[in-house]
Amino acid sequence: MTTGAGIYFDGQTSVRQDVGVALGASGLEIAGRDGRLLAQWPYDQIEGLAAPDSVLRLGRRGSAALERLEITDTQFAAIIDARALHVDRTGLRQRRQRIRVIGWSVAATASLLLVAWFGVPAIAERLAPLLPAGIERKLGEAVDMQVRTLLDNRRLGAGFECGSQDSEKPGRAAFDKLMQKLQTAADLPLPVRGIVVRRTEANAMALPGGQIYVFRGLIEKAATADEVAGVIAHELGHVAHRDGSKAVLQAGGLSFLFGMLLGDFVGGGAVVLAAKSVLQSSYSREAEAAADAYGTALMNKAGGNARALASMLEKIGGATEPGMQILLDHPETKARIAAINRLAAERPAEPMLDAEEWAALKRICAG
């Protein structure tokens, strides 16, 4: 048992008593010079009190009497500090926490190396479909913040989203109606949110957790509401297949695994890296074909013109997402268009939005 010297005030009298302090397994014992036990304080009830640097002054939590104990021997004080749960005068706990953080970083780095060896794609591919919806949404929110910052290069802030100004509100209503029709038909297990943003490229993108960005350039380039809907349906395919999560997990590597364990994706370079990769990289040919097939089936189901996805692909050279290469007149794009037309149902009589709504959607970013 570790023992040392201290000065004890019982809180009732102003008498200063030289005491012996013995550190037991669960608490410390304060005894007078004559060996009489004066107090027993469990470690989890000891708190640090304000004192000069040279003194460790302790009190007992919830004690009615203002009893206190002072330790001047720095070594002995450090031992008590380490044992008492609510005392961290020497910063030991903080140091331990720092060591834990370093431990996590080392583990994360080690896993990144492992992943580099065995290949992230294989791991991300298997992992993404297993993500619980809540975690995927959190991951999506963290990536979304970064993606928005990267896309909003004119620093418009809230104004980056189209449809908020009065003149744009009918457009927003038309867009929401279109999203709603597609979402109802898609019946995905997670809620999808769609927004139109002030970017001139004719693109759209889906983030993990179901956030869909439609760039104003896409709406400007589209001839019909069904063409816009077709691309959104394709993006919903990426949501359904968890392609965004796979891409992000690949880019962020296993740091995201740790993020999941710690329940915190924000902070740390992984999310920035992931957001950049979402904007710069493109999906595999297989993933695109699968999203096309999904989008076509969804347009059929929603009562839209599935061929509109094909005609839009033709216009934008197959580059639905920002990271993709425009391949006008490319065999790959032609094959995609042919596949969509094969799967498309007969052209419906009604467009997805009426003429007035489509005109409003065209002006959603006109503000």
List contacts with Zn ion (CB under 5 A). Answer: 288, 291, 320
Nearer to Zn ion, 320 or 333 (CB): 320
**Number of residue whose CB is nearest Zn ion:** 320
Q: Pick the closer one to Zn ion by CB: 154 or 285.
A: 285
The radius of gyration of the chain's CA atoms, rounded to the nearest angstrom, is: 31
CB of 195 to Zn ion, least distance (A): 18
CB of 174 to Zn ion, least distance (A): 23
**What gap in Å lies between CA 296 and CA 307, rounded to an integer?**
8
Q: Which strand (E) or helix (H) includes residue 272? A: helix 269-280
Amino acid at 60: R
Q: Distance between CA atoms of 76 and 333, rounded to whole angstroms? A: 75
- Terminal alpha carbon distance of the chain: 76
Instruction: Decide: 342 and 348 in contact? Cβ < 8 Å.
Output: no
CB of 201 to Zn ion, least distance (A): 14
Smallest distance from Zn ion to CB 196, Å: 18
> Which residue number, 81 or 288, has a Cβ lying nearer to Zn ion?
288
Q: Which is nearer to Zn ion, 42 or 323 (CB)?
A: 323
Exposed/middle/buried for residue 360 (C-beta within 10 Å: 0-12, 13-18, 19+): buried
| Between 96 and 285, CB nearer to Zn ion | 285
What's the CA gap between 250 and 51, in Å, rounded?
52
What residues form DSSP beta bridges with 68? Answer: 9, 59
User: What is the closest distance, in whole angstroms, from the C-beta atom of residue 231 to Zn ion in the complex?
Assistant: 9
Specify the residue, 67 or 288, whose C-beta has the smaller distance to Zn ion: 288
Smallest distance from Zn ion to CB 288, Å: 5
Identify any residues that bridge with 295 across adjacent strands, giving them in sequence order.
none
